[in-house]
Amino acid sequence: MPSAGRSTMTTTPEPMVTGSAPPTVHAAERRLHPMSWLFVLLAQLRQFVVPLVALLVFGRGDRNELWPLIGVGVLVLAAVWQYFTFRYGVAGDALLVRKGLLERSVRVIPFARIHNVALQQSLLHRLFGVAEVRLESAGGKKPEAEMRVLKLDDALALEQLVRHRGQASAVDEVGAPSTPAVPEATTLLQLPLGEVVRHGLVSNRGLIVVGAGVAGLSQISPRLLPNLFERWGEVLFGYAGSHDFGIAGYALAAASLAVLAVALLRLLSVLLSLLQYYGFTLRESGRRLTVERGLLARWRTSASRRRIQAWTLYEGLTHRLLRRRSLHVDTAVAEEQQQQRALRELAPIATPQACDRLIAHLLPKADWAGQAWRPIPVHNWWRLFLPGMPWILVVGGVAGWRFGAWGLLAVPWLAWSAYAARQHARRAAYAVNDQLVAVRGGWWSRWWRFAEIDKLQAVSLSVSPLDRRCGTATLWLDTAGATPMGPSLRIRFLPTDEARALHDTLAATLSRRPLRW
């Protein structure tokens, strides 16, 4: 994707018009790309693809089956209508978006409110030289504006305009006399092809895709997969029986199939990583970060550094074998687009040293490398083991009742769970300084979760009945933009006095400092 320097969009903003009349947009207001109706139509038809294909393939030629095509025609007219009635322009320190002709709407979006600019290019977008643009804010369920689609040069120019005007608005808020100079973009991280392949090896995206495929096939035909496995089993066991395989032969065949399945899943994960992370580049321009990635489809998203709410370092078992880590962040953007288009990955995969350098560069006052970690009391390990013990006993009892001696496998399973719980407790720790609060955990898969104290939304102390019995408490630290899939920013099993002292210290610090988004 070309850099923002290619932009050709020029605007001369006029002052915002107050009063009841709608704001005046600059005369050089712009339309969408002439082929935008096609992309709007394809997006609307996406949910009707399966019924339409079924109609065309399995239809019996009855004229009544053609009635749904009238709906397609209506969608075509609506897409063309949007092209002719959609306008956007600049007025003062805001972007104005006009929609409709008979029923008109004018949306005024201050540049300072726009927290994230996301550009997306599918393969079809790249063929037409266009891009889809979404302007997102910290709150709300939907983007502030969605432009489907703009010329690529106009999309990049709009991104640059939002970035520069947003910086100017932020400077004006603190009383600066003029607009800041445009900083040069510097590359903080770039993933070569080998790193993208490593990312595929450490991820489980292939398993997710296979699971989704199995679920989809089960919806089409519930007996399709069982019949397939039964037929496959008949062929394998028939082949094994004809060659007089013994127990060792069956075990070797099963192990070979398992290795083959794992290899195919990893290969699929590598292919998915190439599609999504090829050419991954993290750049910094002033206080704004921009990520660009993708092989066929290209994603380009940017957000201000001050919108980063929390950080997560992750290191799985395969990561450690390859001496790599992943660095993710939570940003305050529209919830609907957090998972796909928000700036969430600063380093999908990188060396521990590279991750530490990124943290030190973006959080220079936090002293991440010099954190003094305070361990959680190890004698609470049994509380990590306790929740899973009833399930192991139930499964072992059912297995013993149904399969006899196989139920005894619950005994080593219990021993392993207790050992794993103790290892988790030994690694659990937290760290607090004037700028940062951090928590670490995990054993085979390790993680570090941390946030600037200024970004904390709430600090709460909870004491369960078991906590009161053990003289402990849990400290919860809430931030904006947190995902439920990641580790929580909480400190568990602290002695009550220590937890209350830490709670009071953090609460007092937050009360003295203004909340930053």
DSSP per-residue string spanning 338-393: TTTTS--EEEEEE-HHHHHHHHHHHSTTS-GGG---EEPPGGGHHHHHGGGHHHHH
- Residue 258: beta bridge partners? none
Q: C-alpha angle with apex 382: 379 to 387, nearest 5 degrees?
A: 150
SS3 at position 121: strand
SS3 at position 329: strand
Q: Which single residue is written with the structure tokens 């946030």?
A: 451
- Distance separating alpha carbons of residues 433 and 375, to the nearest angstrom: 15
Packing angle between helix 247-277 and helix 224-242, nearest 10 degrees?
140
User: How far out from the chain centre does Cα 407 lie?
Assistant: 41
pLDDT in tens, 237-293: 665 566 555 666 666 767 777 788 888 888 999 999 999 999 999 999 888 899 999
Contact (Cβ atoms closer than 8 angstroms) between residue 26 and residue 12: yes
pLDDT confidence of residue 13: 37
The pTM (predicted TM-score) of the whole model is 0.78
SS3 at position 230: helix
> Whats the size of the chain, residue-wise?
517
* C-alpha distance from residue 292 to each of 4, 225, 263, 283 (Å): 12, 39, 29, 9
- Residue burial 443-454, b: 16+ Cβ < 10 Å; e: rest: beebbbbbbbbe
Contact (Cβ atoms closer than 8 angstroms) between residue 155 and residue 1: no
- Distance separating alpha carbons of residues 470 and 295, to the nearest angstrom: 54
- Distance separating alpha carbons of residues 444 and 314, to the nearest angstrom: 11
pLDDT confidence of residue 11: 38
Q: Which of 115, 93, 110 is nearest to 289 (CA)?
A: 115
SS3 at position 221: coil
Mean pLDDT (10-residue bins), the chain, 517 residues: 40 36 55 87 71 56 57 77 86 85 82 83 90 77 81 88 68 42 80 95 78 64 61 60 62 75 88 94 90 91 87 94 94 55 86 95 90 92 90 83 76 90 94 93 93 90 92 91 81 93 90 61
- Distance separating alpha carbons of residues 55 and 176, to the nearest angstrom: 63
User: How far out from the chain centre does Cα 342 lie?
Assistant: 7
pLDDT confidence of residue 10: 37
Contacts of 154 (CB under 8 A, 6+ apart): 7, 8, 9, 30
Q: Which of 461, 465, 487 is nearest to 476 (CA)?
A: 461
pLDDT confidence of residue 471: 93
- Residue burial 125-157, b: 16+ Cβ < 10 Å; e: rest: bbebebbbbbbbbbeeeebbbebbbbbbbbbbb
pLDDT in tens, 383-410: 999 988 888 888 888 877 877 777 777 7
Q: Which single residue is written with the structure tokens 């929580």?
A: 488
Q: Which of 459, 466, 511, 465 is nearest to 490 (CA)?
A: 459
SS3 at position 8: coil
User: 25: which 2 tokens?
Assistant: 């947009």
Contact (Cβ atoms closer than 8 angstroms) between residue 52 and residue 129: no
Q: Which of 367, 384, 344 is nearest to 474 (CA)?
A: 384
Q: Which of 334, 363, 347, 359 is nearest to 115 (CA)?
A: 334
pLDDT confidence of residue 498: 93
Packing angle between helix 68-85 and helix 36-45, nearest 10 degrees?
140
Beta pairing, strands 308-315 & 446-452: antiparallel
Contacts of 303 (CB under 8 A, 6+ apart): 115, 116, 117, 288, 289, 331, 333, 342, 343
Amino acid at 171: V
- Distance separating alpha carbons of residues 172 and 390, to the nearest angstrom: 60
pLDDT confidence of residue 509: 84
* C-alpha distance from residue 401 to each of 352, 393, 410 (Å): 49, 12, 13
DSSP per-residue string spanning 249-294: HHHHHHHHHHHHHHHHHHHHHHHHHHHHHTT-EEEEETTEEEEEE-
pLDDT confidence of residue 451: 94
